[in-house]
Chains A and B, each alone.
Chain A
């Protein structure tokens, strides 16, 4: 197994905001579910459902202090919108997003 930045927990920009702590915790707890949902849509090639799930992360990520999730989700969305036939590119972008999501820590 590789070690390095990929395995480091992803900390919210708002981690020192007491008001945000319970929100971030909930956001982190939902991540496995979000990842499962995206993977399941991906496996079934349900691109519009996948895009919707990704879009929700894009809208919320930055708000919870995870701007990298918003950026990464945006590029998945763009791949789906511009080259829906290029499944390899979508898969790659999605993989990056899921890596980030998996590192989200409360």
Chain B
């Protein structure tokens, strides 16, 4: 589930080949509430950036072997470090170099010898800006009604988990689920009741999944769950627990309200589409089959996926071949 962004003290990585710059900054910034990481070469700096994920990097340009521009280029080309803000420190004042640093993705450029109060202010400003950007990015991926991740996050996360699973050769399960007869519930009990049902279902999802699973509101009354490192049989078990918990939920304000949900579980994409969309499609087809089969149930994707989910309403043989989960 979405976590609050932790307010831990920021880590600053200084990459500079001159030890006296490290000493100077360590003393001058000691009251800023910043944890220091020191790298005396570009190579070491790249390693520490990847392993420690600092909040900010101060990067010297003129270094032997790997110079600052090369380090900056590599930082910005590596997915795990590309979003870390970099302030370039340099004794070179020519605007050509400054422009080059900004073009390579630097957030700021400070000339050496630096004025300490100014550098302090620039560091704090960069940290503040980054924190704000992360907060906005985080908020933009949260569904305001349920507090679950939203669809934008799902797409990104699913893509990442698919890559991870294929790299590590671990199983991955993906679930699409949907509240049954939600429209009717809204029509008979009103939208506030509908909202409450969605919030309750979201809470059940969060309670039943593990820390490393991701639950998202896909849209409307549709939800999705990513279960990394989980074979389909185990994912079916998780969904079954969610299904049962939803079935017995009750509300003091709406004693007549009850909810059930249908689940489509898949451990693979549809044939010929290995991306996130292919996985969503596979789980979605299975969900559709669960609906067709009478709702309030968990189904798993068959090994030979059907070509299309259309026209299966009237003709049972056209429905996706699925096996009953329980």
Which A residues form the contact surface with B (CB < 8 A)?
Answer: 19-20, 23, 26-27, 30, 52, 55-56, 58-64, 67, 70, 74
Contacts and interface: CB of A to CB of B under 8 A. Distances in A.
Contacts, number: 54
B27 A60 contact: no
B27 A19 contact: yes
Contacts of A27: 20
Contacts of B21: 59-60, 63
B64 A59 contact: no
A20 B24 CA distance: 8
Contact of B24 (A58, A64, A67): A64
B238 to A, nearest CB: 57
Given A19-B27, A55-B91, A74-B91, A60 B20 contact: yes
Interface of B: 16-18, 20-21, 23-24, 27-28, 60, 62, 64, 89, 91, 112-114, 116
Contacts of A63: 20-21, 24, 112-114, 116
A70 B91 contact: yes
Nearest to A49: B64
Question: Interface residues of A: mostly helix, strand, loop or mixed?
Answer: helix
Given A52-B62, A55-B91, A63-B114, 11 more contacts: A19-B27, A23-B23, A56-B20, A59-B62, A59-B113, A60-B112, A60-B113, A63-B20, A63-B24, A64-B20, A70-B91
Contacts of B20: 23, 26-27, 30, 56, 60, 63-64
Contact of A56 (B17, B23, B89, B114): B17
A60 B62 contact: no
Given A67-B113, A70-B91, A59 B23 contact: no
Given A52-B64, A67-B113, A58 B91 contact: yes
A63 B18 CA distance: 12
Nearest to A56: B18
A70 B23 CA distance: 18
A23 B24 contact: yes
Nearest to A65: B113
Contacts of B17: 56
B60 to A, nearest CB: 7
Contacts of B91: 55, 58-59, 70, 74
Report which residue of B18, B27, B113, B114 has the largest number of chain A beta carbons within 10 angstroms of its beta carbon: B113
A59 B27 contact: no
Contacts of B23: 23, 26
Contacts of B27: 19-20, 23
A67 B28 CA distance: 18
Closest 8 CB pairs of A and B: A62-B113, A59-B112, A63-B113, A56-B18, A60-B20, A59-B91, A58-B91, A63-B24
A60 B114 CA distance: 9
Contacts of B89: 59
Given A60-B24, A74-B91, A55 B62 contact: yes
Contact of A60 (B18, B28, B116): B18
Contacts of B24: 23, 60, 63-64
Report which residue of A58, A60, A70, A74 has the largest number of chain B beta carbons within 10 angstroms of its beta carbon: A60
